[in-house]
Amino acid sequence: MTNSLTYFRVDGAWLDVEEHIPSNSTDIHPIVDDISAYIDFFPGTEKDVSELGFTMIVPNYSTYGDIELALAPITGRTIDGTLRTIAIGDPVGLELVANSPWFDLDEPLFYHVRYRNVTYETALKRLPNFAFQAPTDSTAVRLTSTTLPRFSYRGPS
């Protein structure tokens, strides 16, 4: 029996609350606006991650047999406050490789999430980097879910 890769969808939404623009309004309420950012996903284990990606030996892949599989980092971006794939048309969400049980890793596959070029309130800001454990199937992951377990980020700065 041959094995093939399983992918899972990743999405999320990011907004900020900021001071209203005085010249545009007499309202005293702050405004809600989109956060703009690049979001890097570095594959690895909970404690071992590299900006170069993650490699593993996997058995009986597709028609190739046993192979060394390299998972490269993937970058998305937020547009209109939602995660998008960097591709023509900026499709909503992106997909990452799941931690398929046939990988037979000693430790679970994790993705370390780094935010870069974060902009809101017309200035560069920061969002907290973190890691999450990859699902073993195609179960979607919402990065901004209150139920997503977050782990310490150990990826590149």
pLDDT tens per residue, range 59-82:
888 888 899 999 999 999 999 999
Residue 151 is assigned to a structural domain of this protein: no
* pLDDT value of residue 89: 95
- Indicate the pLDDT class of residue 130, thresholds 50, 70 and 90: very high
Predicted local confidence at residue 25, as pLDDT: 67
Confidence label for 135 from pLDDT (cuts 50, 70 and 90)? very high
Q: Is the pLDDT of residue 110 over 70?
A: yes
Reported as a single tens digit per residue, the pLDDT across 12-65 is 999 999 887 767 667 778 889 999 999 999 999 999 999 999 999 988 888 888
Average pLDDT over residues 116-129: 92
Average of per-residue pLDDT across 110-127: 94
Domain count, the chain: 1
Q: What is the pTM of this model?
A: 0.93
The pLDDT > 70 percentage for the chain reads: 97
Confirm whether 120 is domain-assigned: yes
Average pLDDT, the chain: 93
Answer whether residue 62 is part of any domain. yes
Find out whether 124 and 118 touch, Cβ atoms under 8 Å. yes
What domain range is 28 assigned to?
7-142
Residue 153 resides in a domain: no
